[in-house]
Every structure is written in C-alpha cells, then in structure tokens.
Amino acid sequence: MPETGTDLAHDAHGQMIRCGAIVSEAIEALGGRMDDVVRTRMFIVDPADADDVGRAHRTIFGSAAPASTMVVVAGLLDPAWRVEIEVQAVVGSGNRVGA
C-alpha cells in the first residue's frame, strides 16, 4: 500500500530506501530473496534526485546488481512521492548470486 503523511520520508534517498524495504517484504512473502531481482525501473520527478536514488539502489541491492533503468517523469500519483520503483524478480529459479 502506498504511504503518505508522516510515514513518508521527505527526501528521495529515504523514499527509495523505504521502497526497497517494501520490495524485500513482498519478495520474501513469495519465498524469494533480493538477489532474485533481475531488473528494476526507477521513476523520479526531479533529475537532481538521480544520485541519491542511485546510491539508495546500490545500498538495497548490493552485489546482486540487477539491470536497472531510471526515468524522469512529470509526476507520480501522490505529489509528495519523489520516487517509485518497479521490480522484476525470478523467484524459485535456483539461480542465486554467490550461492
């Protein structure tokens, strides 16, 4: 569920870190791990946030390093959102990074 109000970080880095936690929870609920993620698409509303979002992406995914794309968009559903992420994962493939 999207977050609003006081639960929402005001900076792009903080929002991206929260997105990563939401993604991790969803993948784990399916029996997977973050290294099952093969592709991400990040949508940002301010090009100045690109470095912060990229840094957060590296923190979230580490050595798994999925293929990724970052796109600047005119807006997201909630004007308070600075970043949104779309994730593709292959859960249960047996193909683990570092395993």
- For residues 69 and 86, give the distance between their C-alpha atoms in angstroms, rounded to a whole number: 10
pLDDT tens column, 55-99: 999 999 988 889 999 999 999 999 999 999 999 999 886 555 544
Give all strands (DSSP E) within 3-93, no chain letters: 37-44, 67-72, 83-89
The CA distance from 54 to 99, in Å, is 26
Provide the CATH number for the domain formed by 7-89 in this structure.
Answer: 3.30.1330.40
Q: What is the pLDDT of residue 8?
A: 80
Residue 83: enclosing H or E segment and its boundaries? strand 83-89
Instruction: Categorize the per-residue pLDDT at 1 as very low, low, confident or very high, splitting at 50, 70 and 90.
Output: very low
If you compute the radius of gyration of the chain from its CA atoms, what whole number of angstroms results? 14
**Domains of the chain: which residue ranges?**
7-89
Question: What is the predicted pLDDT for the residue at 98?
Answer: 46
* The pLDDT value given to residue 96: 54
**DSSP structure class, residue 44:** E
pLDDT tens-digit map of 13-48: 999 999 999 999 999 999 999 999 999 999 999 999
